[in-house]
């Protein structure tokens, strides 16, 4: 078989795999797909080594496979570069294409397998791969299906509602990662429309045309000017006379215009509610034709309903345009009647509100705020509130009219109904930062808000507080005065009132949307004490009211710590472990309060004062044991509590107690559950328990099944934090042979490769994933196991590591350097020795150039995959650069030095020194003499001691290091002093018999 064909396919597969990492959507499906392709690539490398004999059948299979990989490349490229909206809406087709491609590639692989005579081991490998491909299932995710169903419903209902289309477009944009900025969304939508023009399938083209028509109704992609122009053109074409409804619009039963017309099996159309009542009353014949009715076949008459909607919208446009004369009439009843109609139109439809704004009604409503008739003012306030809710443009139109804000503020002093409506409108307007100054600068505004904030009317008080919070430019003292007026009577009633009053006040504290500052003020003004006293009452309803309030207040760390100081833990623990909690969700509320207290212990203040939530193993055991007997919501809360406790001042004790009580066994079980939030937090807590060393007490629970679960999480999770934690667990597992073998058999090496090549600039945990993957790799590069090192090299891991040296974090570079050092330690043994006379012939047999592959350090035939040579991997320069970086940590420098030192060991010394000199490594090593780390200093001294055995380097660098060496001999450690003295002796600065050599000076 022509090996170059297999080489070509392997190269093409690598390109497809690389492209699959860039797909916009269907990431999980493409991850599965590329995993198969990678396995195919690996088997091809094996086939290339075996060089099986080719046949006409095998050559045809190879050509078929090349064609399929070419198609795969096109599919992957389209899904990487295509319009995001189009790709989402084509998700089902993409899944079908992936299934078809996998099936076709598998077929070609089976044909190829049947035509080759290869070893049983390789044959079994290929058969297993084909079986896995046959078993694989690709699928669209739930959110994609939800979007498609909403679209299909919109098309079926022929919905022209702007909100429906806008919300749908926002939902789509958020899912595919498009900015919600209007210009960006509009550009992406236009790109989507353009892409639909090139669809070849008539059915698909028609479907996309319907979707474009539906989404075109979204006002979020239409500017105000475009909306106004479109409306005015339509309105001017209608005339001024209202159209009577067509006869077909009337229900034959009710004789009224229908709202929800449905068609029966007799072909007649009725109002749904009317025909359903007719049938429910025992009638089974059509009211018109008297033919039998099928009660289960009522179908919406969508065509008629759309005609009715168009008729209604036409008449509404004409009505809105014509009502201006009525609303400006001197007849109060005529004005109120028109206002009521406009109010109803505003309440029912966003589209109607848009038309009212375009018809320039806002100045009229503002004028009516000064009317003597209170009903006119109330209607106008309510309509303006509806208009303000629709967006920033309307808020600005309302606020920038002369005296508009002043008119609204004056209404704050009216009766409750008007003042509440005025507050509601001001609250909506104050959400705009631009309008804050307009409101706050109106004379008397703040005083009125402060007064209303302490009002007995709950709505008025809440709205006034909200407006004050939104006016952030105001002096905080002014705002706090308002808060104090509201909170003071509340706290007094909480402390001194009867039980019923205490419960009411606690409920108020629980329901208020408080800022952190408010929570701190309430706590400092004495809210904690009465609430904690309520926990000691014998009535569970009283306890429940207190818990809800404490849950709200304890979200601020300072409050949480104050509650711990006042002994909140014991009554909360007593309550959470109670067996007779009759109030739903109470245990969850207690748990959330305990979680807030635990989180507060991670603050700097808790560390400074050494504040602990739990100080006994019994408390930890009791709380953790609840996890096994709780539902998902409570499990998540408890897991988050232990996350915080593990990071608290007592974190070391907490982690030790959890290990001793076999908490890992429970966490491993939770790592397998389908509830994502539970699993994610279980994995992260598992990591906290293993991160600070190997613990034999629970390693027995980490069996092959557990490892498979962790590997599967890394492969499939959409939560990068969970992926990072799972990889961290693997990195911290004991480095024994059995554990490492289980990891290898579970595909850990492959997920390490995927993680090291993980690229997502928006992923907050990208650096962690790469770091822990590099740490996990170190076990497989151990020089005592050449077989494992070979497997690492075979999957092209070394070039990836070298590339990461240029971009990874300092700690990641440390792990990379450890792996490179361990691989390099095997190079001298694996470098193929070549006698000079046989060099040319052997190189020719291998198809390589002797001049290019004779290693200047190992003096043999070296490659990255065969001998893991640092030179062949072009790793020396990146290592040197990494060593000289300012942010490099001491441990990282130490690991890099170890890797570099492998090049100047034993007989390689002279050649290795030359390579290091060419890479400017000696200058970088010199700088390490000034390191604050004794270990780094020592390694630099050992390196220079070897390098200075050669006169040329001693002459070149000797003088520049003399002063540093002398300083080390005086101030260095017991290990570095004698080494520095030896180098000074090499440089003829000290006598060889100097007392500096004994390390005691």
Calculate the average pLDDT of the chain: 85
Contacts 24+ apart (CB under 8 A), 465-474: 466/427, 466/430, 466/513, 467/423, 467/426, 467/427, 467/430, 467/439, 469/515, 470/427, 470/430, 470/431, 470/436, 471/430, 471/436, 471/439, 471/440, 471/446, 472/436, 473/436, 473/437, 473/440, 474/440, 474/446
Write b or e for each residue in 44-81: b if 16 or more Cβ atoms lie within 10 A of its Cβ, otherwise e. Answer: beebbeeebeeeeebeebbebbbebbebbbebbbbbbe
- Helix 56-81 to helix 3-20 angle (10° resolution) is 20
* Residue 516: per-residue pLDDT: 82
Q: How many helices (H) and strands (E) does the chain have?
A: 58, 5
pLDDT tens profile 899-931:
999 999 888 899 999 999 999 999 999 999 988
Residue 514, C-beta contacts closer than 8 angstroms, at least 6 positions apart: 522, 552, 553
pLDDT above 70 covers what percent of the chain? 90
* Residue 439: per-residue pLDDT: 83
Equal CATH topology for 327-459 and 475-613: yes
Q: If phi over 0 gives left and psi between -120 and 50 gives alpha, with beta otherwise, what is residue 220?
A: alpha
CB atoms within 10 A of CB 829: 10
Rounded distance, CA 984 to CA 974, Å? 16
- Hunting for tokens 């795999």 — which residue is that? 17
Per-residue pLDDT at 412 exceeds 70: yes
* Residue 560: per-residue pLDDT: 95
CB atoms within 10 A of CB 28: 15
- Domain positions in the chain: 3-140, 143-230, 327-459, 475-613, 619-688, 948-1001
Beta carbons of 859 and 907 less than 8 angstroms apart: no
pLDDT above 90 covers what percent of the chain? 36
Three-state SS letters, 891-934: HHHHHHHHHHHHHHCHHHHHHHHHHHHHCCHHHHHHHHHHCCCH
CB atoms within 10 A of CB 217: 20
pLDDT tens profile 218-240:
776 777 777 788 888 888 788 77
Rounded distance, CA 364 to CA 952, Å? 94
Per-residue pLDDT at 116 exceeds 80: no
Q: Residue 372 corresponds to which tokens in the numbers above?
A: 């003597």
- What is the distance, to the nearest Å, from the Cα of residue 682 to the centroid of all Cα atoms in its chain? 17
- Sequence-ordered alpha helix ranges (H) in 197-252: 202-215, 224-236
Sign of CA dihedral 199, 203, 207, 210: positive
* Residue 394: per-residue pLDDT: 87
* Residue 847: per-residue pLDDT: 41
Rounded distance, CA 861 to CA 824, Å? 14
* Residue 545: per-residue pLDDT: 93
- What is the distance, to the nearest Å, from the Cα of residue 789 to the centroid of all Cα atoms in its chain? 35
Per-residue pLDDT at 397 exceeds 60: yes
Per-residue pLDDT at 265 exceeds 90: no
Q: If phi over 0 gives left and psi between -120 and 50 gives alpha, with beta otherwise, what is residue 537?
A: beta
Mean pLDDT of 335-359: 90
Per-residue pLDDT at 790 exceeds 90: yes
CB atoms within 10 A of CB 543: 23
Per-residue pLDDT at 993 exceeds 50: no
pLDDT tens profile 698-713:
677 888 889 999 999 9
In the three-class reduction of DSSP (H, G, I as helix; E, B as strand; rest coil), residue 832 is classed as strand
Rounded distance, CA 881 to CA 805, Å? 9
* Residue 416: per-residue pLDDT: 85
* Residue 562: per-residue pLDDT: 95
Residue 775: which pLDDT band, with cuts at 50, 70 and 90? very high
Q: Which H or E run includes 263? A: strand 261-263
- Helix 720-732 to helix 676-690 angle (10° resolution) is 30
* Side-chain-facing half-sphere of 936: CA atoms under 13 Å: 22
For residue 832, what are the β-bridge partners? 861
Per-residue pLDDT at 51 exceeds 80: no
pLDDT tens profile 282-310:
888 999 998 888 877 788 888 898 889 88
Mean pLDDT of 485-511: 83
Mean pLDDT of 313-333: 89
Q: Residue 523 corresponds to which tokens in the numbers above?
A: 């706590």
DSSP state of 52: P
Write b or e for each residue in 697-726: b if 16 or more Cβ atoms lie within 10 A of its Cβ, otherwise e. Answer: ebeebbeeebbbbbbbbbbebebbbbbbbb
CATH fit for domain 327-459, picks 3.40.30.10, 2.60.370.10, 3.20.20.100, 1.25.10.10: 1.25.10.10
Sign of CA dihedral 599, 605, 611, 617: positive
Among the ranges given (84-98, 185-199, 476-490, 712-726), the one the predictor scored with the smallest mean pLDDT:
476-490
Taking the CA atoms of residue 3, residue 6, residue 8 and residue 13 in that order, the dihedral angle to the nearest 10 degrees is: -160
* Residue 685: per-residue pLDDT: 93
CB atoms within 10 A of CB 731: 21
Beta carbons of 26 and 94 less than 8 angstroms apart: yes
Among the ranges given (133-147, 196-210, 569-583, 849-863), the one the predictor scored with the smallest mean pLDDT:
849-863
| Cα-trace Rg, the chain | 38
For residue 299, what are the β-bridge partners? 263
Q: Residue 984 corresponds to which tokens in the numbers above?
A: 């000074």
pTM, entire model: 0.57
* Residue 574: per-residue pLDDT: 92
Three-state SS letters, 630-679: CCHHHHHHHHHHHHHHHCCCCHHHHHHHHHHCCHHHHHHHHCCCCCHHHH
Per-residue pLDDT at 760 exceeds 90: no
Domain 475-613 carries which CATH code?
1.25.10.10
CB atoms within 10 A of CB 585: 13
- Hunting for tokens 């409101």 — which residue is that? 439
Q: Residue 968 corresponds to which tokens in the numbers above?
A: 């080390």
In the three-class reduction of DSSP (H, G, I as helix; E, B as strand; rest coil), residue 270 is classed as strand
Per-residue pLDDT at 968 exceeds 50: yes
* Residue 475: per-residue pLDDT: 61
Per-residue pLDDT at 332 exceeds 80: yes
Listed residue (717, 754, 752) closest to 20, CA to CA: 754
Q: Residue 248 corresponds to which tokens in the numbers above?
A: 């077909």
In the three-class reduction of DSSP (H, G, I as helix; E, B as strand; rest coil), residue 854 is classed as strand
């Amino acid at each position: 078989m022509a090996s170059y064909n297999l080489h070509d396919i392997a190269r093409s597969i690598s390109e497809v795999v690389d492209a699959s990492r860039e797909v916009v959507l269907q990431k999980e499906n493409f991850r599965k797909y590329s995993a198969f392709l990678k396995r195919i690539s690996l088997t091809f490398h094996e086939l290339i080594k075996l060089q099986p004999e080719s046949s006409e059948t095998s050559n045809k299979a190879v050509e078929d496979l090349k064609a399929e990989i070419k198609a795969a490349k096109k599919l992957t490229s389209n899904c990487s570069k295509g319009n995001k909206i189009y790709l989402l809406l084509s998700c089902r087709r993409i899944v079908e294409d992936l299934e078809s491609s996998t099936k076709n590639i598998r077929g070609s692989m089976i044909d190829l397998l049947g035509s080759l005579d290869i070893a049983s081991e390789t044959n079994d490998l290929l058969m297993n791969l084909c079986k896995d491909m046959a078993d694989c299932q690709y699928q669209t995710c739930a959110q994609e299906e939800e979007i498609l169903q909403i679209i299909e419903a919109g098309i079926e209902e022929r919905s022209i509602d702007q909100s429906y289309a806008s919300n749908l477009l926002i939902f789509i944009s958020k899912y595919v990662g498009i900015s919600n900025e209007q210009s960006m969304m509009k550009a992406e939508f236009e790109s989507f429309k353009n892409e639909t023009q090139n669809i070849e399938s008539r059915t698909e083209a028609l479907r996309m045309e319907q979707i474009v028509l539906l989404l075109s109704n979204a006002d979020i992609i239409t500017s105000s000017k475009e909306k106004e122009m479109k409306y005015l053109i339509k309105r001017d074409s209608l005339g001024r006379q209202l159209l009577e409804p067509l006869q077909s619009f009337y229900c034959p039963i009710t004789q009224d215009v229908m709202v929800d017309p449905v068609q029966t099996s007799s072909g007649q159309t009725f109002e749904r509610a009317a025909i359903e009542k007719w049938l429910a009353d025992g009638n089974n014949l059509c009211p018109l034709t008297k033919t039998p009715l099928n009660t289960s076949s009522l179908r919406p008459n969508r065509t008629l309903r759309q005609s009715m909607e168009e008729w209604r919208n036409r008449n509404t446009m004409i009505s809105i345009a014509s009502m201006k004369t009525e609303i400006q009439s001197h007849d109060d009843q005529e004005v109120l009647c028109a206002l009521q109609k406009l109010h109803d139109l505003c309440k029912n439809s966003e589209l109607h509100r848009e038309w009212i704004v375009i018809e320039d009604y806002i100045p009229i409503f503002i004028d009516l705020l000064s009317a003597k008739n209170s009903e006119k003012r109330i209607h106008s306030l309510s309509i303006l509130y509806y208009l303000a809710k629709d967006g920033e443009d309307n808020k600005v139109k309302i606020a920038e009219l002369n005296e508009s804000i002043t008119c609204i503020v004056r209404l704050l002093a009216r009766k409750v109904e008007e003042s509440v409506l005025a507050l509601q409108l001001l609250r909506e307007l104050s959400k705009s930062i631009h309008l804050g100054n307009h409101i706050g600068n109106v004379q008397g505004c703040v005083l009125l808000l402060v007064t209303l904030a302490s009002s007995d009317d709950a709505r008025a008080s809440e709205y006034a507080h909200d407006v004050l919070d939104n006016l952030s430019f105001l002096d905080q003292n002014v705002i706090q005065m308002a808060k104090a007026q509201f909170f003071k009577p509340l706290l007094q009633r909480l402390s001194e009132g009867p039980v019923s009053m205490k419960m009411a006040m606690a409920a108020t504290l629980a329901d208020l949307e408080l800022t952190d500052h408010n929570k701190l003020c309430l706590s400092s003004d004495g809210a904690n004490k009465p609430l904690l006293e309520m926990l000691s009452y014998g009535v569970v309803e009283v306890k429940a009211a207190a818990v809800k309030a404490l849950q709200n207040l304890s979200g601020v760390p300072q409050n949480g710590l104050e509650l711990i100081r006042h002994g909140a833990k014991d009554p909360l623990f007593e309550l959470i472990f109670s067996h007779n909690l009759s109030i739903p969700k109470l245990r969850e509320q207690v748990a959330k309060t305990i979680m807030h207290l635990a989180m507060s212990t991670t603050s700097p203040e808790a560390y400074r004062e050494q504040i602990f939530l739990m100080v006994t193993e019994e408390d930890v055991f009791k709380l953790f044991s609840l996890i096994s007997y709780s539902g998902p919501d409570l499990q998540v809360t408890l897991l988050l509590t232990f996350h915080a406790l593990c990071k608290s001042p007592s974190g070391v004790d907490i982690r030790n107690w959890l290990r001793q009580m076999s908490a890992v066994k429970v966490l491993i079980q939770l790592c397998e559950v389908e509830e994502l939030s539970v699993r994610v937090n279980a994995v992260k807590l598992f990591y906290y328990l293993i991160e600070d060393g190997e613990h034999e007490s629970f390693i027995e629970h980490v069996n092959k099944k557990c490892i498979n679960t962790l590997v599967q999480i890394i492969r499939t999770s959409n939560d990068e934090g969970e992926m990072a934690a799972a990889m961290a667990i693997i990195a911290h597992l004991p480095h024994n042979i059995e554990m490492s073998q289980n990891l290898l058999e579970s595909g850990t090496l492959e997920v390490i490769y995927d993680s090291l090549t993980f690229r997502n600039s928006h992923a907050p945990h990208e650096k962690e994933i790469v770091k822990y993957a590099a740490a996990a790799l170190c076990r497989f590069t151990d020089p005592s196991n050449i077989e494992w090192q070979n497997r690492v090299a075979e999957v092209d891991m070394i070039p990836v590591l070298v590339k990461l040296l240029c971009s990874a974090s300092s700690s990641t570079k440390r792990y990379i350097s450890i792996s490179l050092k361990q691989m390099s330690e095997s190079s001298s043994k694996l470098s193929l020795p070549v006698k000079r006379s046989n060099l040319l012939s052997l190189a020719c047999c291998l198809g390589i150039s002797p001049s290019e592959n004779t290693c200047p350090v190992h003096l043999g035939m070296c490659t990255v995959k065969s001998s893991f040579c640092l030179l062949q991997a072009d790793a020396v320069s990146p290592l040197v650069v990494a060593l000289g970086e300012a942010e490099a940590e001491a441990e990282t420098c130490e690991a890099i030095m170890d890797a570099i030192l492998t090049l100047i060991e034993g007989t390689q010394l002279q050649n290795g020194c030359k390579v290091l000199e060419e890479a400017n490594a000696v200058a970088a090593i010199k700088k390490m003499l000034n390191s604050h780390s004794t270990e780094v200093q020592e390694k630099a001294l050992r390196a220079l001691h070897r390098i200075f055995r050669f006169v040329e380097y001693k002459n070149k660098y000797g003088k520049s290091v003399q002063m540093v060496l002398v300083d080390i001999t005086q101030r260095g450690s017991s290990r570095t002093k004698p080494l520095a003295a030896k180098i000074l002796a090499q440089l003829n600065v000290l006598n060889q018999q100097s007392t500096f050599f004994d390390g005691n000076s």
